[in-house]
Structure 1
Amino acid sequence: MTKTIRPLLAITLLAAVLTGCASGPKYAEVADAIPAIKPGQGRIYFMRSTSVFGGALQPEIQLNNHVVGKSQPGGFFFVDRPAGPYRAKTSTETVMALDFSLYPGEVKYVRTEAAFGLLLARIGFSLLDASIAEEELQDLSYTGRPIAPVTPVAPMAPAAAR
């Protein structure tokens, strides 16, 4: 390696390590607070495993041209949307996209992952089977919007006591 590439590589690796991992509560800590899917809607989980490669690259994820979150290593988030056709995409040195349909009550799991590009890493998409995705979610941190905690509902008092 040339003398100018070594420092650049060291800085890039250090940046990836320092900025690479999502922080937040683990899936098990928020699972009970995730609300039920509303009628006519489906849920889309976006998830990315922890990896040193491409860790500093955390592009926004768009769903039908609306930003819904970021692809963060070690993180996940979800969005609920009406049933219909969707296109998830990110843009780094090139646009990467995934087209799919969402049905009422359906849950889709979309993995984002870094891949080699010409100049930069790219963030690509793949749909995961629920059994694989649910296992992977256990190790990931929630990076989405705050979830209202689930509060237990007290039972109603018997009619005679009211």
Structure 2
Amino acid sequence: MSILSTVTQKMNQLRLESEESAAKVEELQAKVKTLEQDNLAKEQEITSLSHKNGLLESDVERLEAAVNDFKKAAEDGTQHSTNNETLARRLQLLEEEAEEADKTLREANEKLRQTDVKAGHFERKVQALESERDQWESKYEEMSKKYNDIKKELEDFQADVANI
């Protein structure tokens, strides 16, 4: 009986160990299942984060391209600003030259007006002098004719006196 009791005891012990092992297996299977679910969740999270990372990397590339565009635009703006300053200085010089040319033109117009006034004055003077000259020439011709007439009369008179 002792063998049977030992065997029964062993069997009970084995059954107990078997139940404990089964419980442990169930516990470990539950743990494995939990770990598999955690692993699946982590894989999904990794996939999601990889996708997010890809999106962020494309955003970074897009933003870097935008930054480069903005830098180029800023450089162009600086260059345009420099060009604008140069053109503003050139415009100011041209305006000053235009003002100087306008002043010179006004002075030339004033001198031309004065010259026209003087020319008109001298033309009237020339006309008056020509008219006076014509009168003197007429008088001279008239006097010359009278002189010749008187001279002839005198010669005739002298000839008549000499004949007497």
Same fold (TM over 0.5): no
Which is strand-richer, 1 or 2?
Answer: 1
Which is helix-richer, 1 or 2?
Answer: 2
TM-score interval, smaller chain: under 0.3
Larger Rg: 2
TM-score calculated relative to the size of structure 1: 0.22
Larger RCO (CA within 8 A; separation ≥ 6): 1
TM-score calculated relative to the size of structure 2: 0.22
